Amino acid sequence: MAFEHIDEQLQARRGASLFRERRCIEAAEPRRINVDGHWYLNFSSNDYLGLAQSDALKQAAADAAATQGVGSGASPLVSGHSRSHKELEDYLCEALGRDRVLLFNSGFSANQALIQTLVPKDANVIADRLCHASMLDGALASGARLKRYTHNDMEHLSRLLSQSEGDCLVMTEGVFSMDGDQAPIKDILRLCQRHQALAFVDDAHGFGVLGAQGLGSAELHGADQASLPLLMATFGKAIGTSGAFAATTEMFYDYLVNFARHYIYSTAMSPLMAAITLRSLRLVREESWRREKLQQNIQLFKTLSAEHGLSLMPSDTAIQPLLVGEADRALTCAEDLRQAGFFLVAIRPPTVPDGQSRLRVTLSAAHQGEDIKQLVQAIARKAQDGA
């Protein structure tokens, strides 16, 4: 039979407890989801500010639907770039202090476009070892020399920069999606400046959450366009909508518009979604209480976990990983917690390294204190039972 490797690899994944399946969410609320007719407290969502299912954003969607088209109808360079797209881009330019912004349908697409397009084959890409798959795939597709430094290890990064000749792109996440810790942005930018390297930050999990106005890692660390000329973030997490953006210089913008195949040959984001996203961004800046409540929930979870003897990975963000170890054990823990009314997904290889499967607890401003207390108590009971 042709393509026998497909069935072989699927069987191997099943045998290693690594097979992946989707679950259909039948209904959703800010803190709960309904799966297969059962309601669960949801601790697996990246909706950090509780906006995705909020009445405020639902009303924004209804208001926008009265004036905005549902589909863009074409790529941005044909007839798909509308006033709502321009208004969203202009808002981000002003808020972030960047020359230009480009919108994408996903963070994966944005990362692929930026890295694959801007980096020539004779250049170097130096990436944190825990960078997102989309960043690594973009680097590999560019044909450049890819090097990876030990996670958040500035001595290793400095050494690799010293050994690299020619153009060099250094890339990191602002908040790492599986570990929840943050990159030392200021140190990375200093090293880039010293070695005349280009800095690129994927701030998917920091944008909307970090900084006084929720503008992410760039705002938190005072990284302007001169020091950080390539910034990507998504709308599908704290902002509560979908899509992504790249904020950059005029020159890089022009180059991407003319050469980035992911941008040129993709239908533009829905103008309706652009309008809703703009309203959400304004809500993020106006309603600082959402970030304050999220921080309270993070501290409550960490405090209660310590009191119950739970060993968390080091993180001060909404991503709080509980390391379990082997994939089969992580699956069992997740299923036991679902039986107790909590929706948590077991994160397994190849998303994380072998032997580092985990329960990735994600907290939201929508969670109530009692939700968090019940979750920690349930995890502690499972730990005591040896689950």
Q: What are the residue ranges spanned by the domains of the chain? A: 23-53+288-384, 55-286
* The one catalytic residue among 179, 202, 203, 219: 202
Token code pair at residue 65:
């639907």
Residue in 246, 221, 242, 217 with CA at minimum distance from that of residue 231 = 246
177 is catalytic: yes
pLDDT of amino acid 2 = 81
* The one catalytic residue among 132, 147, 262, 293: 132
202 is catalytic: yes
99 is catalytic: no
Rounded-to-integer distance, Cα 210 and Cα 295, Å: 10
* The one catalytic residue among 81, 85, 221, 237: 237
pLDDT of amino acid 385 = 66
Rounded-to-integer distance, Cα 66 and Cα 89, Å: 21
Phi and psi, residue 175, nearest 5°: -120, 125
CATH code, residues 55-286: 3.40.640.10
* The one catalytic residue among 82, 84, 164, 177: 177
* The one catalytic residue among 47, 89, 173, 219: 173
280 is catalytic: no
Residue in 353, 386, 106 with CA at minimum distance from that of residue 241 = 106
* The one catalytic residue among 205, 221, 293, 367: 205
CATH code, residues 23-53+288-384: 3.90.1150.10
pLDDT of amino acid 311 = 86
173 is catalytic: yes
Distances (CA, A) of 99 to 38, 144, 262: 48, 27, 21
- The tens place of each residue's pLDDT in the chain, 387 residues long, gives 689 899 999 999 999 888 898 989 999 999 999 999 999 999 999 999 999 999 999 999 999 999 888 999 999 999 999 999 999 999 999 999 999 999 999 999 999 999 999 999 999 999 999 999 999 999 999 999 999 999 999 999 999 999 999 999 999 999 999 999 999 999 999 999 999 999 999 999 999 999 999 999 999 999 999 999 999 999 999 999 999 999 999 999 999 999 999 999 999 999 999 999 999 999 999 999 999 999 999 999 999 999 999 989 999 999 999 998 899 998 999 999 999 999 999 999 998 989 888 899 999 999 999 999 999 999 998 776 654
Q: Is the distance from CB of 193 to CB of 227 less than 8 angstroms? A: yes
The yes-or-no answer to whether 23-53+288-384 and 55-286 have a common fold is no
Q: Is the four-CA dihedral 374, 380, 385, 387 of positive or negative sign?
A: positive
Q: Is the distance from CB of 108 to CB of 135 less than 8 angstroms? A: no
Q: Is the distance from CB of 185 to CB of 174 less than 8 angstroms? A: yes
* The one catalytic residue among 46, 106, 111, 124: 46
336 is catalytic: no
111 is catalytic: no
